[in-house]
Amino acid sequence: MAVNNSGRKMRIGVVCLLVAATALSACARNRKDAVSFNGFFFQSRAEKVSKEERDHFTVTVKKVSQDFDGAKEAGRHAGVSYCIAQYGTSKIDWVFGPDDEGIIPSDDEINFEGYCRP
């Protein structure tokens, strides 16, 4: 009995094509959702300081050397996004924030700290 390999190869090809299309669409979706500041994209992350104090958070922004003012705005955006997600408010009391004087990057990063306020 002869085995038909062309049908099997076709199915494998279709599966590979679907996997590639899914991967590419995920990349495009993430880029579409990304926000640029002064024409640059920054990696920024806001995290709670502890489980007990979710309102207290820190923000880290990377690749500050691209554009210092844009990096500060990316940090503000990360903080506001965090507070909206956690408390439904964009009000922040910054301990050390994007409007403060004396922000000094370290290892091409800047760090902020704040509290979400209803």
Distance CA 42, CA 72 (A): 10
pLDDT score recorded for residue 11: 57
Please provide the average confidence, as pLDDT, over all residues in the chain.
82
At 18, list the tokens. 């679907």
The tens-digit pLDDT sequence of the chain (118 residues) is: 555 666 555 555 544 444 444 443 344 334 445 788 989 999 999 999 999 999 999 999 999 999 999 999 999 999 999 999 999 999 999 999 999 999 999 999 999 999 999 8
Long-range contacts of 95-100 (CB under 8 A, 24+ apart): 98/72, 98/73
Closest CA to 71 of 60, 81, 80, 83: 60
3 state SS of 57? strand
Q: Which amino acid is at 83?
A: C
At 97, list the tokens. 């924030």
Instruction: Report whether 69 contacts 38 (CB < 8 A).
Output: yes
pLDDT score recorded for residue 42: 94
Statement: the pTM of the whole predicted model exceeds 0.85: no
